[in-house]
């Protein structure tokens, strides 16, 4: 019996009340947690989706999580209903994939910019994928790919329907832990099915039909990709960490402002209507994408309304 209990390293895919789904080798092992690990033994407090853990695999296919291995990053949000406590919703996320469409639903650049702010704030790489290009005019989505590409973000287009661009999507997901985010109906589930055509049970779990009931909580669920890597989604990411940004700090997350900001007349320039603002000058000369600047003003106002300073 003793030799059947093996220590292995796995990745936590999903956290429910008592059972943790852990990817170990090629299987998903339901695990429990070694008593007290959650609070007392670990510097990390509790096990989260994305954690790499050491598990003791028992002969009955169950496992016991022994230890949380070092986290390289974590994505958290602040919960207003719990006295603004910070909650880690996922760890070791390499990148977020922001999915947009230009038609059905229409392009929501304000939402895109909010996701980018979240990524910048959490220092997580962000990729932009414009899906449903079979429904759109090439010039419409190319414009966004060009504008956001110029900011340094990897941006590309796909159609889950025709398969166009799916290879590029796969290349960007390989060896990475990627969180899929985007407005409802943009094709997140369809794209996951498109990158995993041999949909096994794991893929089924995230399909449009079956995924609804699973996400009763706002926790992240990761699933393994056959070409190495993990993909996951969270219904709660929209509330992630945006409104705990002070409005004066918002500009930090706009990568294109950086190179102009130190030429502004005032050190604490917010680039709204201060005299001698180099960012506004860059906007007027077409060096800053006007739609994104417009979103900056809207987001800035929303932070002001939240009484943070």
Cα–Cα distance, 149 to 32 (Å, whole number): 44
| 197 torsion bin: left (phi>0), alpha (psi -120 to 50), beta (else) | alpha
Torsion over CA: 143, 193, 112, 259 (sign): negative
For the residues of 62-124, what is the DSSP string, one character each? -EEEEEEPPPS-EEEEEEGGGTTEEEEEEES--EEEEEEESTTTTP-HHHHHHHHHHHHHTT-
* Binding partner of residue 185 among Zn ion, ligand GDP, none, CB cut-off 5 to 8 Å per kind: ligand GDP
Rounded CA separation 29/22 (Å): 5
Binding segment for ligand GDP among 27-35, 116-124, 184-192, 280-288 (CB under 6 A)?
Answer: 184-192
**Does 190 interact with ligand GDP (rule: CB under 6 A)?**
yes
How far apart are the C-alpha atoms of 77 and 283, rounded to whole Å?
A: 32
Residue 188: contacted member of Zn ion, ligand GDP, none (CB under 5 to 8 Å, by partner type): ligand GDP
**Using the rule CB under 5 A, is 112 a contact of Zn ion?**
no
> Which stretch, 111-119, 147-155, 186-194, 280-288, contacts ligand GDP (CB under 6 A)?
186-194
Residue 257 CA to residue 34 CA, distance in Å, equals 48
Nearer to ligand GDP, 111 or 261 (CB): 111
Q: What residue 271 binds from ligand GDP, Zn ion, none (CB within 5 to 8 A, per partner kind)?
A: Zn ion
Q: Report in angstroms how near the CB of residue 201 gets to Zn ion at its nearest.
A: 53
Query: Residue 298 to residues 92, 151, 162, 276: CA-CA distances in angstroms?
Result: 31, 20, 36, 22
**Which of 91, 159, 178, 251 forms a contact with ligand GDP (CB under 6 A)?**
159
State yes or no: residue 296 binds Zn ion (CB under 5 A): no
19: helix, strand or coil: coil
Which residue number, 28 or 279, has a Cβ lying nearer to Zn ion?
A: 279
Q: What is the x/- site pattern for Zn ion, positions 207-246, by CB under 5 A?
A: ----------------------------------------
Of the candidates 40, 31, 44, 42, the residue with the CA atom closest to the CA atom of residue 71: 44
Judged by CB under 6 A, does residue 135 bind ligand GDP?
yes
Q: List alpha helices for the chain, DSSP H.
A: 109-121, 138-150, 166-173, 188-195, 201-204, 208-214, 258-261, 278-284, 290-304
Specify the DSSP class assigned to residue 41: I
Q: Does 214 bind ligand GDP (CB under 6 A)?
A: no
Taking the complex as a whole, how short is the minimal distance between the CB of residue 298 and ligand GDP, in angstroms?
Answer: 23
Indicate which of ligand GDP, Zn ion, none lies near residue 163 (CB less than 5 to 8 Å, by partner kind): none
Is position 186 an interface residue for ligand GDP (rule: CB under 6 A)?
yes
47, 277, 282, 303: which one contacts Zn ion (CB under 5 A)? 277
- For residue 13 the two structure tokens come to 């895919």
> From CA 99, how far away is CA 186, in angstroms rounded?
7
CB count in 10 Å sphere of residue 99: 26
Binding mask 161-180 for ligand GDP (x = CB under 6 A): x-------------------
Is residue 188 a contact residue for ligand GDP (CB under 6 A)?
yes
- Choose among Zn ion, ligand GDP, none what residue 269 binds, the Cβ cut-off being 5 to 8 Å by kind: Zn ion
189 binds ligand GDP (CB under 6 A): yes
**Residue ranges binding Zn ion (CB under 5 A):** 264, 269, 271, 277, 279
**Residue ranges binding ligand GDP (CB under 6 A):** 131-132, 134-135, 159-161, 182, 184-190, 208
């Amino acid at each position: 019996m003793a030799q059947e209990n093996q220590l292995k390293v796995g990745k936590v895919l999903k956290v429910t009340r008592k059972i943790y789904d852990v990817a170990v080798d090629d299987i998903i092992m339901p695990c429990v947690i070694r008593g007290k690990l959650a609070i007392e033994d670990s510097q990390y407090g509790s096990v989260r989706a994305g954690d790499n853990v050491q598990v003791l695999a028992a002969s009955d296919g169950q496992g016991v999580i022994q230890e949380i291995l070092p986290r390289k990053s974590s994505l958290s949000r602040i919960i207003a209903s719990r006295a603004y406590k910070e909650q880690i919703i996922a760890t070791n996320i390499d990148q977020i994939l922001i999915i947009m469409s230009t038609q059905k639903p229409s392009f929501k650049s304000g939402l895109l910019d909010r996701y980018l702010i979240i990524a910048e704030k959490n220092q997580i790489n962000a990729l932009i994928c414009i899906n449903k290009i079979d429904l759109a005019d090439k010039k419409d989505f190319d414009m966004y790919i060009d504008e956001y590409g110029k900011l340094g973000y990897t941006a590309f287009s796909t159609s889950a329907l025709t398969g166009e661009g799916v290879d590029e999507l796969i290349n960007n997901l390989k060896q990475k832990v990627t969180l899929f985010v985007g407005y409802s109906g943009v094709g997140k589930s369809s794209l996951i099915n498109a990158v995993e055509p041999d949909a096994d049970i794991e893929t089924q779990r995230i399909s449009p039909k079956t995924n609804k009931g699973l996400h009763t909580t706002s926790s992240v669920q990761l699933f393994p990709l056959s070409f190495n890597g993990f993909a996951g989604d969270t219904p709660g990411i929209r509330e992630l960490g945006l409104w705990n940004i002070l409005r004066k700090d918002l500009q930090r997350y706009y990568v294109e402002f950086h190179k102009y900001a130190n030429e502004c007349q005032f050190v604490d320039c917010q680039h709204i209507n201060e005299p001698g603002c180099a960012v506004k000058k860059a906007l007027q000369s077409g060096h800053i994408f006007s739609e994104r600047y417009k979103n900056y003003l809207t987001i800035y106002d929303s932070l002001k309304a939240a009484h943070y300073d």
